[in-house]
């Protein structure tokens, strides 16, 4: 049997980096906290708990904790939150994805130059809230045409547009186009990260040449669900599994070419276990 794992299955670069940083800090033996769950994967969160890494959800909770190290996850936080952590006496380890830090820098600089920041993204998403915090919480946040219609700045206003890293590129283009017609002085930065798109494209390609396809990920993970749908369209024998224990080897062994992909919060270890089980 041939077993092939998609190159970009599982964690993206930013999440992998953040998770590695947490495990490294856990080994130092200090009190270690993450500001929100580092990833949405029950197994990883449980494993980190066993290594004494606790999740704190807000500054109030952190204030009540014994001093130690606080890790900022890949989504990033506002400047005010980061400063507050330091002022409370915690050692801050910044695991914000470098692609997100780039957006922080843009909005910080451009808002200080007097430009109105427009963030194309979801206002409730922690990444967007963090970005807004780097431009004094004054950004206009839009996610669709309806929101864009409501923007009413003076003609000639200086505007800087950025996007949430996971925003859909086609939609971003459409919204920038609409804003461009409003006679503002615009600069726009495409800050979308293509990790999700690449993962989906590879999954589709691999599924199209496989006899069976395994999609590995948490049952509540929406991006794994999406990968499953993409693969199922290409390969009728597509199976959604959470871990190796869900694998029905009798069925899998009846196929010649088996492909494996995994959602964005599936650790490499779990992907590897599935791969080894198939190859046995
Ligand atoms: Fe991941 Fe960073 Fe892109 S966290 S999705 S590599 S912006």
Q: Establish how many alpha carbons lie within 13 A of residue 153's alpha carbon, considering only the half-sphere containing its beta carbon.
A: 22
Which atom number of ligand 1 is nearest to the Cα of residue 196? 5
Q: CA–CA separation, 164 vs 178, rounded Å?
A: 18
Q: Please identify every residue annotated as catalytic.
A: 127
Phi-psi sector, 7: left (phi>0), alpha (psi -120 to 50), beta: alpha
**ipTM surpassing 0.95, yes or no?**
yes
Taking the model in full, what pTM does it have?
0.87
Which CATH number is correct for 2-9+195-279, 3.50.50.60, 3.40.1010.20, 3.60.9.10, 2.40.50.140?
3.40.1010.20
Mean pLDDT of successive 10-residue stretches along the chain, which has 280 residues: 95 94 92 92 86 95 97 96 97 97 98 98 94 97 97 96 92 96 96 92 97 92 90 98 94 96 93 95
Annotation: CATH topology of 99-188: Cobalt-precorrin-4 Transmethylase; domain 1 (3.40.1010)
Alpha helices in 9-157 (DSSP H): 13-26, 42-50, 59-63, 79-87, 98-112, 126-133, 145-149
Which residue's CA is minimally distant from atom 4 of ligand 1? Answer: 14
What is the spatial distance between Cα 128 and Cα 273, in angstroms, rounded to a whole number? 35
The pLDDT, as a whole number, for residue 265 is: 87
Task: Confirm whether 2-9+195-279 and 13-96 share one CATH topology.
Answer: no
What pLDDT is attached to residue 219?
82
Helix (H, G, I), strand (E, B) or coil at 175: helix
Q: Which residue has the tokens 């190796």?
A: 244
Ligand 1 centroid from CA 37, angstroms: 16
Question: What is the C-alpha to C-alpha distance for residues 190 and 193, in angstroms, rounded to an integer?
Answer: 9
Ligand 1 centroid from CA 16, angstroms = 9
Q: What does the block give as tokens for 215? A: 């999609």
- Among 13, 72, 265, which residue has the most ligand 1 atoms within 8 Å of its CB, making it the best to mutate? 13
pLDDT, position 39: 87
Sole residue written with tokens 């996971």: 166
Task: Write out the binding residues.
Answer: 12, 40, 75, 97, 125, 165, 193, 221-223, 265
Domains of the chain, by residue range, sit at 2-9+195-279, 13-96, 99-188
- Torsion from C-alpha of 150, 162, 197, 195, nearest 10 degrees: -150
The CATH number of the domain covering residues in 13-96: 3.40.50.11270
CA distance 193 to 100: 9
């Amino acid at each position: 049997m041939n077993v092939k794992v998609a190159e970009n299955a599982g964690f993206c670069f930013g999440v992998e980096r953040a998770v590695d940083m947490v495990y490294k800090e856990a080994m130092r033996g200090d009190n270690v906290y993450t500001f929100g769950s580092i990833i949405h994967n029950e197994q990883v969160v449980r494993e980190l708990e066993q290594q004494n890494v606790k999740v704190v959800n807000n500054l109030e909770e952190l204030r009540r904790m014994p001093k130690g190290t606080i890790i900022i996850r890949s989504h990033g936080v506002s400047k005010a939150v980061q400063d507050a952590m330091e002022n409370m006496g915690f050692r801050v380890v910044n695991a914000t994805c470098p692609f997100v830090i780039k957006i922080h820098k843009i909005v910080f600089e451009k808002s200080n130059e007097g430009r109105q920041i427009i963030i194309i993204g979801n206002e409730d998403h922690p990444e967007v809230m963090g970005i807004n915090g780097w431009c004094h919480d004054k950004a206009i946040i839009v996610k669709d045409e309806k929101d864009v219609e409501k923007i009413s700045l003076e003609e000639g206003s200086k505007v800087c547009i950025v996007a949430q890293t996971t925003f859909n590129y086609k939609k971003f283009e459409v919204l920038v186009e609409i804003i461009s017609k409003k006679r503002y002085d615009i600069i726009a930065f495409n800050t979308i990260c293509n990790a999700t798109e690449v993962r989906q494209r590879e999954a589709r390609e691999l599924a199209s040449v496989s006899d069976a396809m395994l999609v590995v990920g948490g049952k509540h993970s929406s991006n794994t669900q999406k990968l499953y749908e993409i693969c199922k369209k290409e390969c009728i024998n597509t199976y959604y599994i959470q871990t190796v224990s869900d694998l029905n080897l009798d069925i899998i062994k009846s196929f010649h070419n088996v492909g494996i992909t995994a959602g964005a919060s599936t650790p490499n270890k779990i992907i590897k276990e599935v791969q080894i089980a198939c190859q046995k």
